[in-house]
Amino acid sequence: MKIGFIGLGIMGKPMAKNILKSGIGELYVNTRNQKVVEELVAAGAKYATYQELGETCDVILTMLPNSPQVKSVMLGENGVAANMKAGSVFIDMSSINPVASKEIAAALAEKDIEMLDAPVSGGEPKAIDGTLSFMVGGKQEVFDTYKPLLETMGASVVRCGEIGAGNTTKLANQIIVACNIQALAEALTLAQKAGVDPELVFQAIKGGLAGSTVMNAKAPMMVSGNDKPGFKIDLHIKDLNNALDCAHTVGAPVPMTAQVQEVMQWLHNHDGGQKDHSAIAQYYEYLTGIQIGR
């Protein structure tokens, strides 16, 4: 199998490395960062232009910021799709609006190119250790064929329905994650203001009903003041914008999503956009004048 991979950022680079480690096929890469390209080539990948990717690869993977970038890379002038063979497959692992996924799939179908939308959850740590969760939309037979490829990067690969279902599921995931982080920040702020050590609160409740993967990952970051991004606030803002757009389109009420989006937007406007989304805690630190755990 010849695999093309476009977008080697915080998530994409370790995902591509895990494909290489698996030996499932030949990997061809393309990204703007030349140093990352050199790193992947040193690990066994080959560099290819968009034209070469389209002409050479059986399947193209993308891990890009948002809908406009995916559309540009695939469907724009000199885009990859212009050179793809009939019967080849495009798997978009970016988190984008499901409406855009359907539009891209429809355009590719005219060229007899199949598509899966397959966004991921787990952040940089799970991208590195190959235990991401994939939420996939598309035809069952295409999913069955390429599930082993996705399993080189993830521990969970679930088909959620037809095209767009993967990104709809990812939007639901991002709502839950954001609201969990905000609730955690509020709770730890309450603990500290009441004179109880936030670290001990975390240790006491993490094994109960309130416990979660989000809590286990983000509470230690809040307590230590570590805002090094595993998933940036600006990217979560993008996801929640897509969630709000989708919700407004289908008529779903999302008041909690709107509230946490406002908190993230405040952080963006105060130089926090490139911080980890656990930096939601810093909004509460600004309001209260205390620093959680310190």
**Catalytic one of 13, 17, 126, 170:** 170
Q: What gap in Å lies between CA 105 and CA 164, rounded to an integer?
A: 9
Query: For residue 250, with 0-12 CB atoms within 10 Å meaning exposed, 13-18 middle and 19 or more buried, which class applies?
Result: exposed
Q: What gap in Å lies between CA 113 and CA 116, rounded to an integer?
A: 10
Strand partners, 30: 6
Q: What gap in Å lies between CA 268 and CA 79, rounded to an integer?
A: 32
Nearest to 105 by CA among 78, 130, 137: 137
Q: What gap in Å lies between CA 38 and CA 58, rounded to an integer?
A: 23
Q: What gap in Å lies between CA 185 and CA 152, rounded to an integer?
A: 34
CB-based contact 104:113 (threshold 8 Å):
no
Answer yes or no: 228 catalytic. no
Task: Cite the active site residues.
Answer: 170
